[in-house]
Copies of this chain bind each other. A is one copy, B any other.
Amino acid sequence: MRPLTHPSIEDITVEGILHALSDPVRAAIYAQLACAERANTCSAFLQVEDRSIPKSTLSQHFRALREAGLVRSERHGVEMLNTTRCGEIEQRFPGLLPAILKAHSIQSAGRPKPSRRKAAAKPKAG
């Protein structure tokens, strides 16, 4: 088992950040971590946005967030504690993460509820 690598701040790329956050599950995880008071375990996210995420998939999502430089993970006993690296990233790319988080919150505010509805088709696409 390889020992959890984190990119150093200058190896973090915009493309990597955008790709990591372009997945709705990872975006939700990151948003929740970003406004959390203290570190969260992985399994705190087995339920995200009203759907169940299998443990192995969740592990891949955390790896993606780690390798994009968005979160830092540390083993504490039997569990992993995850925190965002938003301070560092704010220094390198000022305003980027706040803008993305804000856009996400605008988007979820515009949707009535996380119930199953089919996005109402696209009426006028011209």
Contact = CB atoms under 8 A, between A and B. Distances in A.
Contacts of A125: 5-8
Nearest to A102: B95
A85 interface: no
Interface string A1-37: 0000111101101111111011110010000000000
B93 A96 contact: no
Contact of A14 (B8, B10, B98, B104): B104
B103 A96 contact: yes
A122 B19 contact: no
Interface string A82-126: 000000000011111011101110110010000000010011111
Contact of A122 (B7, B24, B124): B7
Contacts of A110: 10
B100 A8 contact: no
5 contacts: A6-B126, A8-B124, A8-B125, A11-B119, A11-B122
